[in-house]
Amino acid sequence: MNHHYENTADECIVICNICNVKVPNTINNRDEHSYGVRHETEYDNLLLINKMKMINDTLYCHVCNLTMYNTDDLNHINDVNHRYEIEKLKIHPHMEKKNGNKLECRVCEVVISSKDHCVSEHVEGNNHTINYSNLLEDNMIKNIGKRVFCELCRRFVKAVKVIDHVLMDEDHIDRYICSLKQNPEPLHYHMCYSSDPKIVICKVCDKSITCTVINNHISSMIHLQKFKTTLAFNKMRKTRSKKKYYCDICHVYVPNKNELEHINGKNHAESIKVMIMKRMVNDLSENNIYSSDDEYDEEDGTEYSWDDDEEDSTEYTRDDDDEEDDTEYTRDDDDEEDDTEYSWDDDEEDDTEYRDDYRYDNNYNY
């Protein structure tokens, strides 16, 4: 038990790392504390929390599946890998921690809140149940009572370790690949092989996936949404017969399961470049039209500005030409003759005639 104690600056005192108390540095005091009720209770609780069990003079860790000497108990408990496995046990075995207070379901590939009611609602939901059963079926794993048996590996697997067994157990993945070779099936057209036979790459999500969960990934909501957005961005739509796709950019029909090849092809990429260039030209032309209208309005404003009115007023000032016009219209003999023709005497005669007529009319009325 001496390995549970740590020296201090004072040679007469040591600290118990299990109980976090100071103990006099003598053999009797240390033995008394080590075999005391408090120390034994704290030590048993520590082993229980870390999923460790005393077997004779050794310790067995259920989380890491390791056997060690008693003197290595604290070193193993403080180990980074062991602490990571313990943290995983605090959350549901189907979940994985993400940034913040988010969890990702390793079965459905969906990000949810880390709250307990959100996790339980998702795990007990229909989608998760169906995806989990499909995962077990694809990997030839069956539930036998309360135990889980892997037919590929010919051994039982802990229920909390099923996802780890499918995703990370190299022996299981190798056996799965061998089973595929014995019963060869074409790889889904959304996937392509990588340099590692255990890993495939999703061409839609651009993501590396373990070959044991291909079907689960294809049926996940994230993959389906990504596929829809890819088709919409590339102007691909299904025909009425739903046996072909029609590309609105290239104006061609594409057979089913060849849409990704068409989208990643050179002709489609060039058509997209041409479409983008046309849009840029149209935008520039529209901007030029608006800018020319603004310039026209400015010209109209200058035409009717006050400066132009002043220029117009200066144009009509008196000059020599106007003087010449005045001299042209001066009084001359002809004008005098015209004046004599229209003299006031004639007007008086006309006036007397009008008056007589007026009197006559008035007498007539009376």
Domain ranges of the chain: 2-89, 95-233
Better-scored residue on pLDDT, 337 or 45: 45
- Alpha carbon separation from 92 to 87, 97, 150, 154 (Å, rounded): 10, 10, 21, 26
Residues 327-345 have pLDDT tens digits of 444 444 444 444 444 444 4
Residues 227-268 have pLDDT tens digits of 999 999 999 999 888 889 999 999 999 999 899 999 999 999
Helix then strand count (H, E) for the chain reads 16, 18
Question: What is the DSSP secondary structure assignment for residue 18, as one 8-state letter?
Answer: T
In this prediction, residue 283 has a pLDDT band, given cuts at 50, 70 and 90, of confident
For the segment 31-53, the average pLDDT, to the nearest whole number, is: 87
Per-residue pLDDT, 223? 92
Contact call for residues 16 and 8 (beta carbons, < 8 A):
no
* 29: Cβ contacts below 8 Å, ≥ 6 apart: 23
In this prediction, residue 293 has a pLDDT band, given cuts at 50, 70 and 90, of low
Cβ neighbour number for residue 184 with a 10 Å cutoff: 7
What is d(CA 297, CA 295) in angstroms, rounded to the nearest whole number? 5
Contact call for residues 76 and 61 (beta carbons, < 8 A):
yes
In this prediction, residue 66 has a pLDDT band, given cuts at 50, 70 and 90, of confident
Beta bridge pairs of residue 199:
210
Structure tokens at 170: 């190299």
What is d(CA 221, CA 130) in angstroms, rounded to the nearest whole number? 13
Contact call for residues 50 and 24 (beta carbons, < 8 A):
no
pLDDT at residue 50 tops 90: no
Full DSSP string of 198-237: TEEEETTTTEEEEGGGHHHHHTSHHHHHHHHHHHHHTTEE
Which of 70, 61, 62, 52 lies closest to 4, judged by CA? 70
Amino acid identity, position 171: D
Q: Which range (117-126, 206-215, 341-350) has the least confidence?
A: 341-350
Order of strands across the sheet with 155-157? Answer: 141-144, 147-150, 155-157
Residues 121-149 have pLDDT tens digits of 999 999 999 999 999 999 999 988 878 99
What is d(CA 242, CA 329) in angstroms, rounded to the nearest whole number? 94
What is d(CA 212, CA 191) in angstroms, rounded to the nearest whole number? 13
Q: Is 266 exposed, middle or buried (0-12, 13-18, 19+ CB in 10 A)?
A: exposed
Q: List b or e across 34-61, with b for residues whose CB sees 16 or more CB atoms inside 10 angstroms.
A: beeeebeebbeeebeebebeeeeeebeb
The enclosing H or E element of 168 equals helix 162-168
Question: What is the DSSP secondary structure assignment for residue 238, as one 8-state letter?
Answer: E
Residue 23 phi/psi, 5° resolution? -135, 135
In this prediction, residue 201 has a pLDDT band, given cuts at 50, 70 and 90, of very high
Beta bridge pairs of residue 103:
97, 112
Strand, coil or helix: what is 322? helix
Q: Which of 72-81, 276-285, 304-313 has the highest mean pLDDT?
A: 72-81
Cβ neighbour number for residue 24 with a 10 Å cutoff: 12
The enclosing H or E element of 95 equals strand 95-97
